[in-house]
Amino acid sequence: MKSLVIYSSQTGNTKKLAESTCEYLPNGTLLCPVDEAPDPSDYDFVAVGFWLKAGKPDPKSAGYLERLKGHPKVFLFATHGANPDSEHVKNAMARAQSIAEGANFAGSFSCYGEVNPKVLDKVKAKPQPPVWIDDATHAVGHPDKGDLERLRLSIASVVN
Ligand SMILES: Cc1cc2nc3c(=O)[nH]c(=O)nc-3n(C[C@H](O)[C@H](O)[C@H](O)COP(=O)(O)O)c2cc1C
């Protein structure tokens, strides 16, 4: 199985998941930032990692997801300030799936990702702070060891 892991990451959270995803996949898996991503149709399995921006996959990842329409095996992973069980995150995952319309989704994983404190202060100061802002205090220190272990189990269920 020829596998590819693509990610977008501003502060390193999603990159951390991407590196672990690559480790959990068979030897020879290619790890690539989204800016250097190859044609996904050359790969049997593509894992795409994004961070949430305004309730959606970040724009660069969204662009790559467009190229995955109809792909036979896709795995999604993400980091965010919102609670992983929130509607906000569920909607964002659904959005990612709808961008890559017609792809076969083998699985997905997401977890908290610590939010840059400067961004947090800015967002908190808005007249109407976004819904995820109260959850973001719980994101400090994530992704952590437990997140990476849950990711490993998620990948194992897809690969085996
Ligand atoms: C401009 C901006 C917008 C964000 N919007 C959201 C959002 O809508 N929902 C959310 O849960 N987290 C949001 N976040 C938090 C990031 O998704 C989170 O910190 C993520 O782990 C960052 O990943 P990275 O370190 O790979 O860049 C936002 C962060 C930034 C900088």
Probe target for ligand 1 pocket from 5, 8, 16, 51, with the most ligand atoms within 8 Å of CB: 51
Given the CA of residue 56, which atom of ligand 1 is nearest to it?
8
Domain count, the chain: 1
Q: Ligand 1 centre from 72 Cα, in Å?
A: 28
Of the candidates 69, 72, 76, 73, the one whose C-alpha atom is nearest the C-alpha of residue 18 is 76
Residue nearest to atom 22 of ligand 1 (CA): 51
Residue nearest to atom 30 of ligand 1 (CA): 53
Ligand 1 contact, 117 CB (< 6 A):
no
Ligand 1 contact, 7 CB (< 6 A):
no
CB atoms within 10 A of CB 17: 26
Give the pTM. Answer: 0.98
Please give the chain's pLDDT, 160 residues, in tens.
899 999 999 999 999 999 999 999 999 999 999 999 999 999 999 999 999 999 999 999 999 999 999 999 999 999 999 999 999 999 999 999 999 999 999 999 999 999 999 999 999 999 999 999 999 999 999 999 999 999 999 999 998 7
Structural domain harbouring 55: 3-159
Calpha distance 120→74 (Å, rounded): 31
Question: Residue 116 maps to which CATH number?
Answer: 3.40.50.360
* DSSP assignment string, 75-104: EEEEEESS-TTSHHHHHHHHHHHHHTTT--
Residue 16 Cα distances to 23, 70, 127, angstroms: 11, 27, 33
